[in-house]
């Protein structure tokens, strides 16, 4: 009567033991296995390197400017009057901009042809 058939790893090797590959399930000796990047032990033919894109890191973006200063207010000391505020009409003209005697917002001049 014949016993079970002997496999590739069924022999005595001092200091080693039998281990199953996590990918194919074959029995091998522990000193021939390789540790995967996930911590699993695999045959040398089934071991795969880690994807290089796993190590890519983004560059930190610094949107700040080297220096900044407050905006200058040019019109704070010099009043600015538009064409309607210079008319001497109540509710139309603005204080400090009205010109006495001005009846129309614009001097109405028609160019001669």
Give the ranges where the chain is alpha helix by DSSP (H).
none
Residue 94's nearest CA partner among 73, 76, 74, 79 is: 79
| pLDDT tens digits, 32-52 | 999 999 999 999 999 888 999
Per DSSP, the three-state class of 32 is helix
Determine the average pLDDT of the residues in 4-11. Answer: 79
Cα separation, 80 vs 58, in Å, equals 50
pLDDT of the residue at 35: 93
Which stretches does DSSP call E strand in 1-113? 18-20, 27-29, 34-35, 41-42
pLDDT band for position 1 (50/70/90)? low
Q: What is the pTM of this model?
A: 0.46
């Amino acid at each position: 009567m014949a016993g079970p058939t002997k496999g590739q790893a069924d022999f005595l090797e001092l200091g080693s033991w039998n281990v199953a590959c996590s990918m194919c399930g074959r029995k091998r000796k522990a000193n021939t296995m390789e540790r995967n990047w996930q911590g699993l032990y695999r045959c040398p033919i089934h071991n795969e390197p880690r994807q290089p894109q796993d190590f890519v890191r983004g560059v930190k973006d610094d949107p700040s400017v080297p220096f900044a200063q407050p905006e200058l207010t040019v019109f704070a000391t010099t009043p600015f009057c538009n064409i309607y505020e210079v008319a001497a009409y109540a509710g139309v003209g603005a204080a400090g901009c009205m010109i006495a005697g001005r009846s129309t917002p614009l001097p109405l001049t028609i160019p001669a042809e």
